[in-house]
Amino acid sequence: MIVVLGLGNPGHSFAKSRHNVGFRCIDALARRYGIRLEERRRHVVLGHGDMGGVPVILAKPRTYMNRSGIAARYLLDRFHVDLEDLLVVYDDMDLPVHTIRLRAGGGTAGHRGIESVIAELGTQEFPRLKIGVGHPAERGDEVSYVLGPFTAEEAKAIEEPLERAVEAITWMIEYGLGSTMNRFN
């Protein structure tokens, strides 16, 4: 079983924010594979399904970004999966809008959601898929930037990397993380 956890903030006001591309990726996977995200738990909303013959759980935290680790811990404990079977999908300001990157582990790069996941799991060694959202023009404006919506041009541009993220996750489930990193990074 594979668990794919897309990070974001709950609520309508954050739905189109840069910080919610992890949620948007989960929604795109759910549409592609006919997985309904309708099971509501205290800390996550999730759906059970199948991707290429492999059972999957798609999940979005019901907590705010800086408490995403609670959802990750819940999913690992509930479904008894190993860390290598948890894929965390989230936004990355250090990557341009057209870019995705898969990693087997690593640091936080200042991302509060990943800081929470690492703190809760006690390790940095879990697979992650970063979706580039670009960087604000001025330093010190990072919080309002990630919580703000994409510009009209960025909103069009983000659709292509979201589609590539779905393809990468599909490939990873079938061929493994190493092969996926070679193909999509």
Complete DSSP assignment for 13-54: GGTTBGGGHHHHHHHHHHHHHT----EE-SSEEEEEEEETTE
Whole-number pLDDT of residue 43? 95
pLDDT tens for each residue of 123-174: 999 999 999 998 887 777 888 899 999 888 888 889 999 999 999 999 999 9
pLDDT tens for each residue of 67-106: 999 999 999 999 999 999 999 999 999 999 889 999 999 9
Whole-number pLDDT of residue 75? 98
Whole-number pLDDT of residue 129? 98
Compute the chain's Rg from CA coordinates.
Answer: 15
Whole-number pLDDT of residue 179? 96
Q: How many CB atoms lie within 10 A of CB 39?
A: 12
pLDDT tens for each residue of 1-15: 999 999 999 999 999
Output the CA–CA distances (angstroms, integers) from residue 90 to 52, 128, 165, 167, in the order listed. 23, 8, 11, 16
Could you tell me the two tokens for 115?
Answer: 């800081």
Choosing from 12, 19, 48, 135, which is the catalytic residue?
A: 19
What is the pTM (predicted TM-score) of this model?
0.95
Q: How many CB atoms lie within 10 A of CB 111?
A: 24
Residue numbers of the domain that contains 25: 2-184
Does the annotation count 80 as an active-site position?
Answer: no
Q: What is the domain-level CATH number for residue 32?
A: 3.40.50.1470
Task: Tell me the backbone φ, ψ of residue 111, rounded to 5 degrees.
Answer: -80, 115
Helices (H), the chain: 21-33, 68-79, 112-121, 142-147, 152-157, 159-175, 177-184
The SS3 call for residue 180 is helix
Say yes or no to pLDDT of 31 above 90.
yes
Task: Tell me the backbone φ, ψ of residue 86, rounded to 5 degrees.
Answer: -110, 120
What's the total number of domains in the chain?
A: 1
pLDDT tens for each residue of 16-28: 999 999 999 999 9
The SS3 call for residue 67 is helix
Nearest to 16 by CA among 143, 157, 147: 147
